[in-house]
Structure 1
Amino acid sequence: MGASSSIEQKGMSEQRELENLAASTGALPMLQNSFSMLVDPQTNAVPLQSLQQVFCINYRNPECEAPNIPDSFLGLLDHLGASIVDLFFITEKGGVSWIEFLRGYLMCCGRMPASMALNALLRVFATNFTKARHHLKLVFESSDNDCKISGYLLPADVLMLLWMCWTMLWDSRTSRCTKGKENLCLPDVSHLILSAVVSCTEVGSGLNLWDCDISALEVELPVGKFLTWALTTVPSLTDCFTQFVNTRLKNSVSSEDKLERSTSSLGEIPPREACDIHLLTRGRAWAISLTLRSTISEEILKPCLPSGSDGTFENLLYRSSLHGRGLNRFWSNIEGYLGPLLFLVSATSGDVHGDSTSVRKWIIGALTQQGFENKDMFYGSSGSLYAISPIFHVFSPSGKDKKFVYSHLHPTSRAYEPHPKPVGIAFGGTIGNERICIDEDFVRVTVRHHAVDKTYQPGSLFPSQGFLPVEALISEVEVWGLGGRTAKEVQTSFKRREELFIEQRRKVDLKTFASWEDSPEKMMMDMMSEPNAVRREDR
């Protein structure tokens, strides 16, 4: 009798502890509602099959920015629900009790170090591979999230892992915004895979980063180095998994009828063609968002994921092929926007008039935490530089200097300047020796070695950059506003005030002009005709 009471007290103590941990994440009410909806009243537990169905993904006609989709990927998704339940919702009675339900959720989405969250994601991926009857060269020493992992990944494995994460992110959005799930759009993540390959292996000069077939790469990425790359380059990758689990459990509370009615007034998925014409494709936007842990990440993904707004590309403030080239056209579109901005430049270097094989096309970017200002000096509080294509890298602030942005127009005054400051846009470095410099006509961009820059972390902005400055022809410039609706409304109000001021200056009030009798011109003519006459000023 005493032993039974002791077991009950231990169970209650464990339940209170788990409930407190779940409450610290803010998910306890949602978990209580989800458990009550899924539980079998007779056994007071959630059947394993019902819980697997909650996390089940079923896409049959995906689209992709990349040329080919491996057939094995869809089979990998078929086992996602069973893999999550088998790994985290461990039970011995054929059903998941309330304590086991809480414990499983905390193993997926509880507060934990980033390394443990990444280990949990890799365990889901490896279990998926095994269930899909594919072989993965990863070995886990135990079933804990903080266990040691050995082995390696192939580039094709990294592709599958990234696509699985994107699918979970896509599903968490489409389940709220669309009724059907047949329109999965997979991004081109070759720039991320090449980033992992270069960071985790010693490929040397034998790998052509400008024209590389990911599916043909057979290099081995040691899992330890891959984990380091993921934690430093894409630290938000694990959020795709936690968002998926949270969204699926929330949706299990509502019936299908409620879900269908709630999606009728929401926006549609942006078409693939509309995304591909911009520099900010799905794959590039997702890569940048994975480097951030803030609301800016949500704004970057808006053009690429289902949205409730009418304007799919409302965050696009400037595009050179649409609004015209040059600093003045650029300024007329971004002036008054005080929120964070993403500045993208597509350029071509090499001998553009010679052999086409020597021409290199690349894309770089800069993220600023505030809007552009017309200043003859560097300014800014924070920001990052990005190498985006053909290989992805992020260069965060180094903390040694604060020369983040330089944006200077022609001065409005006509006063003589013995040493005029250059006109254009730049990021990092010093005036005249900038790390990235765009001329005022948006025709050429100059990229210098990171040795001239103490503001951003070192690294090449495109492959084989070298030590000498590289001058390239600009193909396209895009600027995306990431300040949300508030920043856009502030800019709209600013433009309305400017238009009002311009309209007022155009209007001429004749009453403000003096008559001919009091004009200086008549006084001069009178003085010349009668120089000795007594003037009104002499009285």
Structure 2
Amino acid sequence: MGASSSTDQVSREQQEVESLAASTGALPMLQKAFFKLSDPQTKAVPLKSLKECFCLTFANPISEASPVPECFPGLLSHLGSSIVDLFFRAGEGGVNWIEFLRGYIRCCGRMSVSISLNTLYRLYAATGVPTKVEFESDDADSKISGSFTPTDVLMLLWMCWTMLSDSRNLKSSEGKAKLDLPDINHLVLSAVISCTEIGDTLNVWDFSISGLEVQLPAGKLHMWALTTAPSLTNCFTQFVHVRLQKCGTSEEDELQPSSSSAGDISSTEAHDTHILTRGRAWAISLTLRNSLSEELLKVCFPKDGDGAYENLLYRTSLHGKGLNRFWSNIEGYHGPLLMLISASSRNDHEGGGTNVGRWVIGVLTLQGFENRDMFYGSSGYLYSLSPIFHVFSHSGKEKNFVYSHLHPTSRVYEPQPKPVGIGFGGTVGNERISVDEDFAKVTVRHHAVDKTYQPGSLIPNQGFLPSEALVLEVEVWGLGGEKPKEEQSAYKNREQLFTQQRRKVDLKTFANWDDSPEKVMMDMVSAPNRVQREAR
């Protein structure tokens, strides 16, 4: 009786865990991975094999901006063993089937963003990096206390980038790849300003992360991550899922730990000459939880050379400045668009500085641009991208998302003509962001004029008065995938065909001089009073 009850209890437990794993859609993959990794005799996965499955080894990671802390390579080398020690509970022979599933659920199961972020903090602290973060208990939803330093935030974000980069390299079957760490100073600075009170004294144009001796309370950093980077946890879940998937589908010689060397970074440098650098594209993707995030990650991880540039629809240095040039490249694209504006204040050049005062803002629209004399759109986001990162989503009060108006084609008198240019938020003539017709000047107004997007400063030290700046570069990226590009291509082909048809001249019409319009006009001028019989 007792043995029967114990057997039934184990069976119900296994069924419950398998049901949770099946809800994630990963049960078949987990069965294959467990079969590959487990010992046939003990029917459990040895800890050593599981740690090797998640092992990361990179030599000399490359950083675009901030120096790589000395302890960061060690953090990566301990990452695999930390994942196993934290989330997979082993018995005498290793990790059995039930605990293997439970470990996966702890990492990739359905949970709130807040709990997922707690998982990241635990993983970061478990890698052996000195930190002042403390947890009340071992529960996934336990409260976190203590503080982070700016360097902690930098390494935590880079840890997530490394896991994401590794999972995408394995997806593309590249196996080994070098580790290029993007410039994410704007993200770290955003966390510092949001979690501390040094914003008024900090020189955002020239600062060093390692030189910031401030403490970021864990609770405030948690709130910053919830509002600014809710998709950060996907980096960890994708890493665990892809690694186990690779263990179940590939041969042993393909499961070697990822390694990296300095390598050639020419491709990285070439890509980051655009406004949409890898660091900015990743930061924007962290604010989104839909297919748009995947399109932005294609910019971060191009599969082949210039493949990432296929989504670039318009760039002033490439296609020319002005609303007409802009319109000829984006017209007919009916899909999400990301518009980036790099600008510099008019008085920035007086002191001879080249970087001081330059900033980048962005706008994400969920539909294409239309030539209208009023606001339109269904939703969107405003971004402050450099030198500080902030996101401003829809406030829910108004729907003045996009304004884009060209000169009317018909010459009709308008007593009160509508402004020509592009704007976002606010009202017509008083937009929160407005770009003039020549793409020479951009005006950023205080959030008090705008009820469409959430309040906040788009540029550093923004006052109540409108801030005008010189436009340095404008880029527009299409984020709708293949379908909008195909539709735009078909639209342009139709327009080109119509233009060619209108330009054609029917020579047969003008073969007879008596029937030509020129002869009629000359006859009228030479003898205007002559009576002519109308042809019937």
- The aligned residue for residue 92 of structure 1 is 91
1:157-196 correspondence runs (5 A) = 157-177=152-172, 179-196=174-191
- The aligned residue for residue 431 of structure 2 is 434
1:80-479 correspondence runs (5 A) = 80-128=79-127, 130=128, 134-177=129-172, 179-256=174-251, 271-307=267-303, 311-356=307-352, 359-479=356-476
- The aligned residue for residue 10 of structure 2 is 11
Q: Structure 1 residues 214, 428: CA separation in 2 closer, same or farther (over 3 Å shift)? A: same
Q: Structure 1 residues 530, 179: CA separation in 2 closer, same or farther (over 3 Å shift)? A: closer
- The aligned residue for residue 264 of structure 1 is none
Deviation at 1:485, TM superposition (A): 1.1
Q: 1:205 aligns to what SS in structure 2?
A: coil
Q: Which moved more, 1:472-481 or 1:496-505?
A: 496-505
Q: 1:56 aligns to what SS in structure 2?
A: coil
Unaligned runs of 5+ in 2: 256-263
Amino acid at match of 1:164: M
Deviation at 1:141, TM superposition (A): 1.6
Deviation at 1:189, TM superposition (A): 1.0
Amino acid at match of 1:386: Y
- The aligned residue for residue 21 of structure 1 is 20
Inter-partner Cα distance in structure 2 for 1:486 and 1:529: 62
- The aligned residue for residue 54 of structure 1 is 53
Inter-partner Cα distance in structure 2 for 1:390 and 1:196: 12
Q: 1:480 aligns to what SS in structure 2?
A: strand
* Alignment equivalent of 2:523, drawn from 502, 522, 525: 525
Inter-partner Cα distance in structure 2 for 1:294 and 1:387: 20
TM-score, structure 1 as length reference: 0.93
Amino acid at match of 1:89: F
CA RMSD of aligned residues (A): 2.2
Deviation at 1:524, TM superposition (A): 7.8
Q: Structure 1 residues 526, 123: CA separation in 2 closer, same or farther (over 3 Å shift)? A: closer
Q: Structure 1 residues 80, 532: CA separation in 2 closer, same or farther (over 3 Å shift)? A: closer
Deviation at 1:511, TM superposition (A): 2.9
Inter-partner Cα distance in structure 2 for 1:149 and 1:530: 96
Are the equivalent residues in 2 in contact too, given 1:62–1:182 (CA < 8 A)?
no
Q: 2:145 aligns to what SS in structure 1?
A: strand
Runs of 4+ in structure 1 off by over 6 angstroms are none
Q: 2:230 aligns to what SS in structure 1?
A: coil
Amino acid at match of 1:313: Y
Amino acid at match of 2:340: L
Q: Structure 1 residues 28, 500: CA separation in 2 closer, same or farther (over 3 Å shift)? A: same
- Percent identity over paired residues: 64
- The aligned residue for residue 495 of structure 1 is 492
Q: 1:199 aligns to what SS in structure 2?
A: helix
Q: Structure 1 residues 38, 414: CA separation in 2 closer, same or farther (over 3 Å shift)? A: same
Q: Structure 1 residues 533, 360: CA separation in 2 closer, same or farther (over 3 Å shift)? A: closer
Are the equivalent residues in 1 in contact too, given 2:162–2:179 (CA < 8 A)?
yes
Deviation at 1:513, TM superposition (A): 4.9
TM-score, structure 2 as length reference: 0.94
Amino acid at match of 1:478: E
Inter-partner Cα distance in structure 1 for 2:458 and 2:363: 11
Q: 2:338 aligns to what SS in structure 1?
A: strand
Deviation at 1:214, TM superposition (A): 0.7
Inter-partner Cα distance in structure 1 for 2:142 and 2:360: 38
Deviation at 1:496, TM superposition (A): 1.2
- Describe the superposition over 1:89-133 as per-residue Cα deviations: whole angstroms up to 9, x where unpaired: 0123240111001111111100111111111111111101x2xxx
Q: Structure 1 residues 55, 410: CA separation in 2 closer, same or farther (over 3 Å shift)? A: same
Deviation at 1:392, TM superposition (A): 0.4
Unaligned runs of 5+ in 1: 261-267
Deviation at 1:204, TM superposition (A): 4.2
- The aligned residue for residue 259 of structure 2 is none
Are the equivalent residues in 1 in contact too, given 2:510–2:516 (CA < 8 A)?
no
Q: Structure 1 residues 531, 514: CA separation in 2 closer, same or farther (over 3 Å shift)? A: farther
Q: 2:342 aligns to what SS in structure 1?
A: strand
Deviation at 1:525, TM superposition (A): 3.0
Q: Which moved more, 1:309-318 or 1:142-151?
A: 309-318
Q: Structure 1 residues 339, 258: CA separation in 2 closer, same or farther (over 3 Å shift)? A: farther
Inter-partner Cα distance in structure 1 for 2:528 and 2:118: 100
Q: Structure 1 residues 532, 102: CA separation in 2 closer, same or farther (over 3 Å shift)? A: closer
Are the equivalent residues in 2 in contact too, given 1:35–1:98 (CA < 8 A)?
yes
Q: 1:49 aligns to what SS in structure 2?
A: helix
Are the equivalent residues in 2 in contact too, given 1:344–1:364 (CA < 8 A)?
yes
- Describe the superposition over 1:41-82 as per-residue Cα deviations: whole angstroms up to 9, x where unpaired: 000000011011111111113222214211211110001111
Are the equivalent residues in 1 in contact too, given 2:346–2:470 (CA < 8 A)?
no
Are the equivalent residues in 1 in contact too, given 2:30–2:248 (CA < 8 A)?
no
- Describe the superposition over 1:461-517 as per-residue Cα deviations: whole angstroms up to 9, x where unpaired: 011101000000011111111011111111111111111111111111123458443
